[in-house]
Amino acid sequence: MAVSTLAQDLPTSDVDPFSHEVLENPIAFQVALRDVGPVVHLTRYDVYAMGRYEDVHAALINWQAFQSGAGVGLSNFRYEEPWRPPSLLLEADPPRHDAPRAVLSKILGPRALRKLRTAWFSDAEELVEDVVRERQFDAAERLAMAFPLRVFPDAVGIPREGRENLLPYGDHLFNAFGPPNDLVEKGNRRVADLSAWVNAQCARDVLADHGFGAQIWAAADRGDITPEQAPLVVRSLLSAGVDTTVHGLAAVLYAFATHPEQWQRLREEPYLARVAFDEAVRWESPVQTFFRTATTDIEVGGAAIPDGKKILMFLGSANRDPRKWTDPDAFDLARDPSGHVGFGMGLHQCVGQHVARLEAEALLTALARRVKRIEIAGPARRHHNNTLRAWESLPVQVELT
């Protein structure tokens, strides 16, 4: 069979993947996206969408052809001014990307995190004890939001004052990767104040002595990064370190509340906490999408993507692609979820993933010890965001051991 390389033959769709309808439940859209072909032209935004695992994975590891330096949102930095100074990690390509990445990799690496393990496990136990005593509570607010906010800002070393700005800042940042729709509009009203607060937390004299923030400044003293880069690297922690883990934890809590047999299994084999978290990240994909930009004319599966165009990668779709996963819609601790693209892949793969896994392991371990059954106890409500798959509210009831 002849495969046409003519761009005109590309399947097209006028669906808006950032509409409230798709954000509420993107699964049907993802099935259609994968089935129509490896690449689909989304006419509404003039972007090229990929939803199959193989193609998303290939694009993620090919940073030469699929650049990040022109932004990983819809906005193309070749033609448009970014709304904030670009991140030195996320919105940069090698070689500029590499020094900040190396510094943060070390600070957030598994070895460095061992020091936090004991404290975070007892923090999780205290929090769980306080919350589960109530028997009925909102797991999104009381656990998924509360736990990261309890441990992560302290680990970075920012002051207490103003921490309520962290989630709204992240929510706006992740909305701003999408089109300028009502979600972005809503955030624009507060963005100046939120940004000013976040930027102020990145200064050396504001940060506590031994946290991640201070370690970033110490790297500048050693000459591993420049003193001009240090505050922007601290900003990356505050940008990408809170909302993502909150929604990852909400995903795993929702998964267990709706899969009692899997909760039973975790209780019997608590060492599965980390696998459970990764399986929930695969299953729910808290980070649903982001973009790359073509650095040249690219051919994917017979389709031509012109130089300079934006490519929208559907991580959530890749993570449920039946071409890659057996029974992809099942949340199953018996599965090996490794290779999922929920943390990305390649040289930009989430540098904070070990922090996220440690938070999840601490929280799930504490819950598994104390909670025999967890189930949904009222209407669960989604929170819409242009990038994140999130819960606004997850009412649950628990039966204690």
Kindly write down the DSSP assignment for every residue of 26-76, as one continuous string: -HHHHHHHHHH-S-EEETTTTEEEE-SHHHHHHHHH-TTTEESTT-SSSS-
107 binds ligand Z7Z (CB under 6 A): no
Whose Cβ is closer to ligand Z7Z: residue 252's or residue 368's?
252
Contact pattern from residue 45 through residue 84 relative to ligand Z7Z, giving x for each residue in contact according to CB under 6 A and a dash for the rest:
---------------------------x------------
Whose Cβ is closer to ligand Z7Z: residue 137's or residue 212's?
212
262 binds ligand Z7Z (CB under 6 A): no
User: 199 exposed, middle or buried (CB, 10 Å; 0-12, 13-18, 19+)?
Assistant: middle
* Rounded Cα–Cα distance for residues 271 and 142 (Å): 24
The distance of closest approach from Cβ of residue 193 to ligand Z7Z in the complex, given in angstroms and rounded to an integer, is 18
The distance of closest approach from Cβ of residue 287 to ligand Z7Z in the complex, given in angstroms and rounded to an integer, is 4
Kindly write down the DSSP assignment for every residue of 342-358, as one continuous string: BTB-GGGS-TTHHHHHH
* Rounded Cα–Cα distance for residues 7 and 391 (Å): 38
Q: Are strands 12-13 and 40-42 parallel, antiparallel or unpaired?
A: parallel
SS3 content of the chain, % helix, strand, coil (to 5): 50, 15, 35
* Rounded Cα–Cα distance for residues 184 and 167 (Å): 15
175 binds ligand Z7Z (CB under 6 A): no
236 binds ligand Z7Z (CB under 6 A): yes
10 binds ligand Z7Z (CB under 6 A): no
Q: Point out which span in 15-23, 24-32, 160-168, 238-246 binds ligand Z7Z (CB under 6 A).
A: 238-246
Give the one residue of 58, 65, 70, 89 binding ligand Z7Z; rule: CB under 6 A: 89
- Mark out the alpha helices in 241-287 (DSSP H runs): 243-257, 260-268, 273-284
Closest CA relative to residue 348, chosen from 316, 378, 313, 323? 313
CA dihedral of 217, 93, 60, 233, whole degrees rounded to 10:
20
Whose Cβ is closer to ligand Z7Z: residue 195's or residue 239's?
239
Give the one residue of 139, 287, 304, 333 binding ligand Z7Z; rule: CB under 6 A: 287
Cα 289 to chain centroid, rounded: 9
User: Binding-site residue total for ligand Z7Z (CB under 6 A)?
Assistant: 11
90 binds ligand Z7Z (CB under 6 A): yes
356 binds ligand Z7Z (CB under 6 A): no
Q: Point out which span in 49-57, 86-94, 136-144, 327-335 binds ligand Z7Z (CB under 6 A).
A: 86-94
18 binds ligand Z7Z (CB under 6 A): no
158 binds ligand Z7Z (CB under 6 A): no
Bridge partner residues of 388 (DSSP): 287
List residues binding ligand Z7Z (CB under 6 A): 72, 87, 89-90, 235-236, 239-240, 244, 287, 290
